[in-house]
Amino acid sequence: MKDQPMRAEKIVRSEDPPNLEMPFSTLDGFITPTESFYVRTHFPVPNIDRSKWRLRLEGEVENAFEITYEELIALESRTIPVTLECAGNNRIFLEPKVKGVQWELGAVGNAEWTGVPLSLLLERAGVKANALEVILEGADAGPLAESKGPQGDVRFARSIPLSKACSDVLLVHRMNGEELHPEHGFPLRAIVPGWYAMASVKWLQRIVVTDTPYNGYYQTLDYAYWAETDGLAKLTSLSSMQVKAEIAYPPTGAVLKTATRIRIFGAAWGADVAKVEVNVDGAEWKLARLIDEAKPNAWRRWELDWTTPAQPGRHVLTARATDKDGRGQPTEHDPNRGTYMISRILPIEVEVA
Amino acid sequence: MKDQPMRAEKIVRSEDPPNLEMPFSTLDGFITPTESFYVRTHFPVPNIDRSKWRLRLEGEVENAFEITYEELIALESRTIPVTLECAGNNRIFLEPKVKGVQWELGAVGNAEWTGVPLSLLLERAGVKANALEVILEGADAGPLAESKGPQGDVRFARSIPLSKACSDVLLVHRMNGEELHPEHGFPLRAIVPGWYAMASVKWLQRIVVTDTPYNGYYQTLDYAYWAETDGLAKLTSLSSMQVKAEIAYPPTGAVLKTATRIRIFGAAWGADVAKVEVNVDGAEWKLARLIDEAKPNAWRRWELDWTTPAQPGRHVLTARATDKDGRGQPTEHDPNRGTYMISRILPIEVEVA
């Protein structure tokens, strides 16, 4: 990590377009400061003039309409903490190495998001009875490197089921109490709580209600995995996050003093986290203390005291989370998940010297 | 073509698995003889013992059941001529060169198929009200070379909408009056009239009625194209054939005598063919005579007399078909169709000497 270029508080995974990672060892409070929050982009950041910007809602609705930025922020907003994680977080741990941004531990963050419920705008438009999905379209677009993708400029867009769109999805104009920064989707982004962050479309400009599955590039050839039913593998769009704990301290490669009490510290998310356990060198799993109270779709920090051995040596720390339904983390990455949904238990190697 | 290895009457595009093309210049009667009929396989040809074989129908039905070969062929069958075309036929004409079997003109044929209407078996099973699609699964399986596909052995399977399944789809046990040959799907294959042939699943062993879109490998990462609606490209499973005329005689590279009357001859299919026109060197399009009467989903052969020029020289012949709704053929291949649905007008170069 020390050889990576940095921008502000973040590791630069790519500059053009910007893909910036939080060094996960800098995890501190429940809320990730905006300047530390990871940035994932597919195309150059759109430069949007808010006075000319409009959000259009159309498709299988009674009354398609456009709304201005001033009209939108005047609507009743809610503020909630939501953890966003890139579906490719932890990709650097995959063996053999794969294509895609080489995220380590920090393509994840927890912010307070302020926005208008999508359900409110859908109600205003009057969704028709045949509606099935809601497509969220960003202003970001460009040509794809992928030869099997659509030709010409492709616009980033994702769909969500109508039921999800009508529940807890927010159209967000503020992050951590401030107007959205351009890299985080100014003037408006979606927040789809509980889903990997590719669904929380930035630079929103159009919402299309459809009566057929959308099957766009970013939910078929990208951001999809193979799920098996009836003995047949089906290409399935990524949606809900998988439960996961990550260790922030000590970081990989840390050199610790012998016979010293340290605090193993991290966060867990991806579901309603019920417990986090920590393991040293494959010995018994020890229950960590959950620091944050449970809130829907927000991470919980956790900690556990550990006294380092009296003898110098190398040690492997692991953490695992379990959700309220008893689901835990796998020990191996399922290759049918491709380069996404990497929720296997990760080793953190430290040296006691 | 003359450098290609041959097997029986066919050009060998690959031996393992067998992909065999009819030399289109051998087109003669309305019915393609079975020994000339092209063969498309994805995996080794399954070796099926008919006494042990069962067809299972399950999923969103009231009464799942299995049926033996003897029981199946005892049901009332229909015999119809249907033209099958591989979705990648004419791929050798694409520029730049692309991956996939390099079919020229002959991955197409017209046979008489004898089989039991799929609707009859669906009725027996009692399809539930929530049913949406019907998956046809073959016995052929194997690992994929494609890294983005499912892991392990993948079985060839395709789905069709319930409405199509209940209309004209046949479960076929005879081809041109004989028991199916192993390479054509023994003991049972589907015939999905009007669709590219990847839908006419061979070596059928299971039919699954589903209430969700299937999105299997062979209708997403393969055998799919990008169709645009609402300004957004959607990955769309290949289905209906596109209208097309092909010239069988003279073949590309033919050397013809000067000032001699010859018969330009071919076939047209892919829709209800209303007319075929022929063009020499970009001059006016001349109406060909349709030889076969119109039958749903079967090709129509056509012919046009042409007197070769008195002077030696090279000439380009083209043919184009128009369907009953006035749809014709494009002059360029749409790259959003990828390496499939190649229905552009093709040039046949001949020499008069």
Cβ atoms of B171 and B188 closer than 8 Å: yes
Report whether pLDDT(A2) > 60. no
Low-confidence ranges of chain B (pLDDT < 70): 1-4
What is the SS3 assignment for chain A?
CCCCCEECCEEEEECCCCEEECCHHHCCCCCCCHHHCCECCCCCCCCCCCCCCEEEEEECECCCEEEEHHHHHCCCCEEEEEEEECCCCCHHHCCCCCCCCCCCCCCEEEEEEEEEEHHHHHHHHCECCCCCEEEEEEEEEECCCCCCCCCCCEEEEEEEEHHHHCCCCEEEEEECCEECCHHHCCCCEEECCCECHHHCCCCEEEEEEECCCCCCHHHCCCCEEEEEECCEEEEEECCECCCEEEEEECCCCCEECCCCEEEEEEEEECCCEEEEEEEECCCCCEECEECCCCCCCCCEEEEEEEECCCCCEEEEEEEEEEECCCCCCCCCCCHHHCCCCCCCCCCEEEEEC
Is A232's Cβ below 8 Å from some Cβ in B?
yes
Tokens matching residue B74? 């005892």
Contacts of A137 in chain B (CB under 8 A): 232
Cβ atoms of B228 and B336 closer than 8 Å: yes
Run of H or E residues at B69: helix B69-73
Report whether pLDDT(A1) > 50. no
* DSSP code per residue over B100-124: S----S-SEEEEEEEEEEHHHHHHH
Is A208's Cβ below 8 Å from some Cβ in B?
yes
Alpha-carbon span A112 to A100, nearest angstrom:
28
Alpha-carbon span B166 to B293, nearest angstrom:
26
Gap from B101 CA to chain A (nearest CA, Å)? 17
Report whether pLDDT(A297) > 90. yes
Q: Which pLDDT belongs to residue A133?
A: 98
What is the amino acid identity at position B13?
Answer: R
Is B148's Cβ below 8 Å from some Cβ in A?
yes
Gap from B216 CA to chain A (nearest CA, Å)? 5
Residues 46-75 of A with CB under 8 A from B: 58-59
Nearest CA in chain B to A57: B230
Q: Could B232 and A59 be called an inter-chain contact, meaning their C-beta atoms sit closer than 8 Å?
A: no
Q: How many CA atoms lie within 13 A of B124 on its CB side?
A: 16
- Segment A84-106 mean pLDDT: 95
> Residue A7 — very low, low, confident or very high, per pLDDT cuts 50/70/90?
confident
Alpha-carbon span A325 to A321, nearest angstrom:
12
Q: What are phi and psi of A351, to 5 degrees?
A: -120, 130
Cβ atoms of B67 and B92 closer than 8 Å: no
Tokens matching residue B307? 């007197």
For residue B237, count CB atoms less than 10 angstroms from its CB and return exposed for 0-12, middle for 13-18, buried for 19 or more. Answer: buried
Report whether pLDDT(A8) > 80. no
CA dihedral of B141, B143, B148, B150, whole degrees rounded to 10: 60
Is B100's Cβ below 8 Å from some Cβ in A?
no
Q: Could A214 and B221 be called an inter-chain contact, meaning their C-beta atoms sit closer than 8 Å?
A: no
Cβ atoms of A32 and A23 closer than 8 Å: no
Q: Which pLDDT belongs to residue A146?
A: 80
Tokens matching residue B206? 């299971």
Alpha-carbon span A186 to A197, nearest angstrom:
16
Q: Could A214 and B232 be called an inter-chain contact, meaning their C-beta atoms sit closer than 8 Å?
A: yes
Residue among A158, A138, A118, A335 at smallest CA distance from A238:
A158
User: Which of A149, A208, A235 is nearest residue B230 as measured by Cβ atoms?
Assistant: A208
Nearest CA in chain A to B216: A234
What is the amino acid identity at position B55?
Answer: L
Alpha-carbon span B133 to A326, nearest angstrom:
34
Relative to beta strand B78-85, strand B65-68 is unpaired
Cβ atoms of A289 and A324 closer than 8 Å: no
Q: What are phi and psi of A240, to 5 degrees?
A: -65, 140
Per the model's pLDDT, the better-predicted residue between A146 and B193 turns out to be B193
Alpha-carbon span B266 to B246, nearest angstrom:
6
User: Which of B210, B216, B232 is nearest residue A233 as measured by Cβ atoms?
Assistant: B216
CA distances from B327 to A115, A116, A127, B244, B321 (A): 49, 47, 35, 10, 8
What is the ipTM score, two decimals? 0.91
Beta bridge partners of B110: B83
CA distances from A277 to A238, A244, B52 (A): 27, 11, 52
CA distances from A156 to A65, A145, A147 (A): 21, 14, 17
Residues whose CB falls within 8 Å of the CB of residue A173, separated by 6 or more in sequence, listed in order:
A69, A72, A73, A77, A114, A115, A116, A179, A180, A187, A188
A59 conformational bin, left if phi > 0, alpha if psi -120 to 50, beta if neither: left
Per residue in A20-62, pLDDT tens?
999 999 999 999 999 999 999 999 999 999 999 999 999 999 9
Q: Which pLDDT belongs to residue A243?
A: 98
Q: Could A137 and B232 be called an inter-chain contact, meaning their C-beta atoms sit closer than 8 Å?
A: yes
Alpha-carbon span A299 to A303, nearest angstrom:
13
- Segment A145-174 mean pLDDT: 95
Gap from A129 CA to chain B (nearest CA, Å)? 16
Q: Which pLDDT belongs to residue A263?
A: 98
Q: How many CA atoms lie within 13 A of A348 on its CB side?
A: 26
- Segment A198-218 mean pLDDT: 97
